[in-house]
With several copies, the nearest count.
Chain A
């Protein structure tokens, strides 16, 4: 079986580097070109040192892109929209890791991103990039728009509860604890080590952009509001989303187990983590570092009807590159875990 030729556009960022790490070990992939304007002509391992001795590719310029089977786009916000026609002329399939084509609805895009979408007619061409929600559509799709990291963690935690209709729609409060790699590799005052180290920084108490995707995927036709906040902590990779869901009926722990088993029992990348003893009783971000897992746990407060759901991912893996490769595997009919087998490290 001949290999799939793949190019990565904008590969000098953290997500682009993680994508390369995975694709270099994918048995059915041949990496053709890797672009970065800033690092044009440099060895890829200069920017991604974990690829030393593994990859001798050099960055080329976006202007020199040639035809290939699949293009992964890891461009800054707005760039994919601008150059989409060129990309679709170069490749049969496109997986975009940016936010450009995540939303189905142009109005919602304008509301959340503050400026109108430049190619609204293409929005419906892109399948939203969470395989656990859109596996069959993805298997027939030409374009996939990878989901945001905080959105992925929150949506996967809440999806079964909202689909079954057991949650009070507009009462859920979710707070994500996140690491510094979510900000990408652009340096700033705020990410300067003596300032960033040891922070418990409430950087987005309200109005986080990923909210748009959450409300889109959890609405099932009726508008829904998720009360979302984000706090960055002393971590590089990792998201822990803690969601407070107020149930609209009396349920027991066993009912919750049944619902999660119904939706995720056969999912290769979702583990239900809820244990009575041991050092890791609920999902723990460091345990999924480098893996494509989303661990989900919960605890039910029967008196108040509050269900606390915890979900942990690696924002660069299930929240970006890993999920993009999972979508790639589905689009090509490969085993979904191909190149995504790394089990994570302990202790770490």
Chain B
């Protein structure tokens, strides 16, 4: 049975596979943020650090 998790960045609620592992990286389907599983029971995610690529002029 899949579990639901809430994205800390945009508050979207999305489904995650039941066998998700600690420190696994997920992508929020709404805002695309990279999230890291920081706790399994209860399931918790936090924003994964992303290096800032340059973009634009």
A and B touch in the complex (CB under 8 A): yes
Q: Tell me the smallest distance from the CB of B49 to a CB of chain A, in Å.
A: 11
Contacts of B29 in A (CB 8 A): 43, 56
**CA of A258 to CA of B12, assembled, Å:** 8
Encode contact with A along B1-31: 1 for CB under 8 Å, 0 otherwise: 0000000111110000000000000010111
**Neighbour of A261 across the interface among B12, B34, B50, B55, CB < 8 A:** B12
* In contact, B27 and A257 (Cβ under 8 angstroms): no
In the bound complex, residues from chain A placing their C-beta under 8 Å from that of B30 are 257, 261, 272
Interface residues of A in 263-285 (CB under 8 A from B): 272, 274-279, 281
Is the CB–CB distance between A254 and B11 below 8 Å? yes
Query: Inside 8 A of B53's CB, which chain A residues have their CB?
Result: 277
Q: Provided the pairs A275-B32, A276-B33 are in contact, do residues A43 and B10 lie with their beta carbons within 8 angstroms? A: no
Contact-size category for B: 10 to 19
Q: Are A281 and B55 in contact (CB under 8 A)?
A: yes
Q: Please, which residues of chain B bring their CB within 8 A of the CB of A56?
A: 29
Contacts of B12 in A (CB 8 A): 257, 261
Distance A201 CA – B50 CA, assembled complex (angstroms): 38
Majority SS at the chain B contact face = loop
Given contacts A254-B10, A261-B12, contact A277 B31 (CB under 8 A): no
On whether the beta carbons of B11 and A276 are closer than 8 Å, the reply is no
Residues from chain B with Cβ under 8 Å of A275 in the complex? 31-32
A279 to B53, CA, bound (A): 10
User: Do B32 and A257 touch (CB < 8 A)?
Assistant: no
A140 interfacial by beta-carbon distance below 8 Å: no
Contact A276 B50 (CB under 8 A): yes
* Interface: A38 (CB within 8 A): no
Taken together as a complex, chains A and B put the C-alpha atoms of A281 and B55 apart, in Å, by 9
Number of interface residues of A (CB under 8 A): 17
* Contact present for A42 and B27 (CB under 8 Å): yes
Q: Please, how many angstroms separate the alpha-carbon atoms of A277 and B32 in the complex? A: 9
Residues of A9-33 at the interface with B, using a CB-CB cut-off of 8 Å, are: none
Tell me if A341 is interfacial: C-beta within 8 Å of chain B.
no
The answer to the question of A46 belonging to the interface, with a C-beta cut-off of 8 Å to chain B, is yes
Known: A253-B10, A254-B11, A257-B11. A43 touches B27 (CB 8 A): yes
In angstroms, how far is the closest chain B Cβ from the Cβ of A278?
Answer: 8
- Closest approach, in angstroms, between the C-beta of A52 and any C-beta of chain B? 10
Task: Collect the chain A residues with CB atoms within 8 Å of residue B27's CB.
Answer: 42-43
Q: CB < 8 Å: which of B9, B32, B34, B55 contacts A254?
A: B9
Shortest Cβ gap from A55 to chain B (Å): 12
Q: A136 to B1, alpha carbons, bound, how many Å?
A: 38
Contact, CB under 8 Å: A257 / B55: no
Query: In the complex, A254→B31 CA distance in Å?
Result: 10
Contact (Cβ within 8 A) B50 A277: yes
User: How many angstroms from the CA of A276 to the CA of B27 in the assembled complex?
Assistant: 11
Say whether, besides A275-B31, A281-B55, A257 and B50 are in contact (CB < 8 Å). Answer: no
| B residues near A254, Cβ cutoff 8 Å | 8-11
Q: Which residues of A contact B (CB under 8 A)?
A: 42-43, 46, 56, 253-254, 257-258, 261, 272, 274-279, 281
Q: 26 A-B pairs, CB-CB below 8 angstroms?
A: A43-B27, A43-B29, A46-B32, A56-B29, A253-B10, A254-B9, A254-B10, A257-B9, A257-B12, A257-B30, A257-B31, A258-B11, A261-B11, A261-B12, A261-B30, A272-B30, A272-B31, A275-B32, A276-B31, A276-B32, A276-B50, A277-B50, A277-B53, A277-B55, A279-B55, A281-B55
17 new A-B contacts, CB < 8 A, other than A261-B12, A272-B30, A276-B33, are A42-B27, A43-B27, A43-B32, A56-B29, A253-B9, A254-B9, A254-B10, A257-B11, A257-B12, A257-B30, A261-B30, A275-B31, A276-B50, A277-B32, A277-B50, A277-B55, A281-B55
